[in-house]
Amino acid sequence: MYINIPNLINLLTVSGVGSTRLRALISHFKDVDRVFQASLQELIDVDSVDQKTALQIRAFKDFDYGKKQCQTLDQIQGRIITFWDQEYPPLLKRMYDPPAYLFVKGELSSQDALTIAVVGSRFASTYGKQVTETITRQLAHLGITIVSGLARGVDTVAHWTAMQSGTRTIAVLGTGLDRIYPPENKKLAEQIETQGALVTEFHCGVGPDAVNFPRRNRIIAGLSRGTLVTEAGDKSGALITANIAVDNNRDVYAIPGNVLNNKSNGCHKLIKAGAKLVTNADDIIEETFPEIKNGVAVSPIQTDNLTVEEKAVISNLSNEPIHIDVLARKMNKASHEILITLLALEFNDFVKQMPGKYFILANPGIIVHGEQ
């Protein structure tokens, strides 16, 4: 089917025409140009089109708008994928309210048949960031595409971890492609273009208005077989994504957290409501990705080849950050002695250094002397 892209964009700007009504119009007339040429009665004859909407279509005059959008897309090396294109994501097409078109930078791929949304708090705790990184890495090592929203906090960790682990990632924006938000994630967005795609239904020039993000979350859920919430407060947007996933018969997973930390409240509510409690990627693979044989090996990380000093340091670390001076006193050592060991462990991915000389275990699956 030939689609006049500028007029397709124009049609969606008409008051009363959303994605569902637009698809109905295209299905009826088989040509977007004919929609604008149709009489009032011909428009009213279309299912779901009332007289008020038909009058708005007839009154439309700003036909340069769609052309200007396409020009901006060309300038930023973006493109548009319509609902009727073969490249349109099949999973998204199966949701109850798929966008009529997507603005895209980067490439969508057949590899994106295996997708999981990883979402959570914009103000993630150290725990939230660590568990997001750990489980995202486990999923990424299986070649699963990670979908998230380019927001601060959990989203940012999920995107970066996916790329560092060699898998694809898709960022769904709540803005136009030319308005990256938050601005500090511009470099991240540029990297995602080379290892996945930036996707949005919002026109170029649209900024980060609060009303955009629930619609953004609907696309995150729609692109994904399941949604994993790693950390979320009571009013987190991640809960909107999870609820949309449920409404579209997609799997929902949640990471348990500290019951004394409000950032865990959202995840605990999801678990109480029926979301599957997740402690590692195996919990997701067995339900959502049956074509992945034998699951994912989330084997505990052994420390047999480490020195006695290195094992002693690991034994005194946990998922909670500890300052080097506190660790040194705990081990009855000088801070500079501990630092040498910590840096060696960090180099081999056993330990992660946080700002201010705080340290945590890089992976919760580390075993010392055969005991976890």
What is the C-alpha to C-alpha distance for residues 324 and 60, in angstroms, rounded to an integer? 66
Work out the pLDDT band at 152, boundaries 50, 70, 90. very high
Architecture of domain 5-75: Orthogonal Bundle (1.10)
Helix (H, G, I), strand (E, B) or coil at 80: strand
330: which residues sit within 8 A by CB, 6+ positions away? Answer: 316, 322
Note the CATH number of domain 301-367: 1.10.10.10
Q: Delimit the domains of the chain by residue range.
A: 5-75, 106-288, 301-367
**Looking at the predicted structure, is the pLDDT value of residue 39 above 70?**
yes
pLDDT for 299? 42
What is the C-alpha to C-alpha distance for residues 161 and 158, in angstroms, rounded to an integer? 5
**Looking at the predicted structure, is the pLDDT value of residue 320 above 80?**
no
**Looking at the predicted structure, is the pLDDT value of residue 370 above 80?**
no
Q: Where are the beta strands (DSSP E) in the chain?
A: 79-82, 101-106, 115-120, 145-148, 169-172, 196-200, 226-231, 251-254, 276-277, 301-302, 322-323, 351-354, 358-361, 366-367
Contact present, 49 and 74 (Cβ < 8 Å): no
Contact present, 124 and 157 (Cβ < 8 Å): yes
Radius of gyration in angstroms for the set of CA atoms belonging to the chain, rounded to a whole number: 24
The predicted model gives 156-163 an average pLDDT of 97
Q: Where are the beta strands (DSSP E) in 74-194?
A: 79-82, 101-106, 115-120, 145-148, 169-172
Who has greater pLDDT, 205 or 236?
205
The predicted model gives 352-364 an average pLDDT of 80
Helix (H, G, I), strand (E, B) or coil at 190: helix
Work out the pLDDT band at 291, boundaries 50, 70, 90. confident
The predicted model gives 106-124 an average pLDDT of 94
Question: If you average pLDDT over every residue of the chain, what do you get?
Answer: 91
Helix (H, G, I), strand (E, B) or coil at 342: helix
Contact present, 344 and 310 (Cβ < 8 Å): yes
**Looking at the predicted structure, is the pLDDT value of residue 288 above 60?**
yes
- Could you identify the residue written with the tokens 């080849």? 305
Q: Which of 7-16, 20-29, 360-369 has the lowest mean pLDDT?
A: 360-369
Helix (H, G, I), strand (E, B) or coil at 371: strand
pLDDT for 321? 83
- Could you identify the residue written with the tokens 């989203």? 155
Dihedral sign from CA coordinates of 43, 45, 46, 52: positive
The predicted model gives 174-200 an average pLDDT of 97
CATH number belonging to the domain at 106-288, selected among 1.25.40.20, 3.30.930.10, 3.40.50.450, 3.20.20.80? 3.40.50.450
Contact present, 268 and 232 (Cβ < 8 Å): no
pLDDT for 367? 52
Contact present, 32 and 7 (Cβ < 8 Å): yes
Work out the pLDDT band at 371, boundaries 50, 70, 90. very low
Instruction: Tell me if 106-288 shares its fold with 301-367.
Output: no
Residue 106 corresponds to which tokens in the numbers above? 């980067």
pLDDT for 365? 53
**pLDDT digit string, tens, across residues 242-270:** 999 999 999 999 999 988 889 899 999 99
Who has greater pLDDT, 43 or 287?
43
Length of the chain: 372
Who has greater pLDDT, 192 or 366?
192
What is the C-alpha to C-alpha distance for residues 319 and 4, in angstroms, rounded to an integer? 54
The predicted model gives 159-172 an average pLDDT of 96
What is the distance in angstroms between the CA of the first residue and the CA of the last residue of the chain?
Answer: 59
Angle between helices 237-247 and 212-222 (to 10 degrees): 50
Beta bridge partners of 367: 302
pLDDT for 353? 86
pLDDT for 294? 56
pLDDT for 306? 85
Work out the pLDDT band at 293, boundaries 50, 70, 90. low
Residue 34 corresponds to which tokens in the numbers above? 């004919």
Q: Which of 164-168, 302-306, 362-366 has the lowest mean pLDDT?
A: 362-366
pLDDT for 368? 55
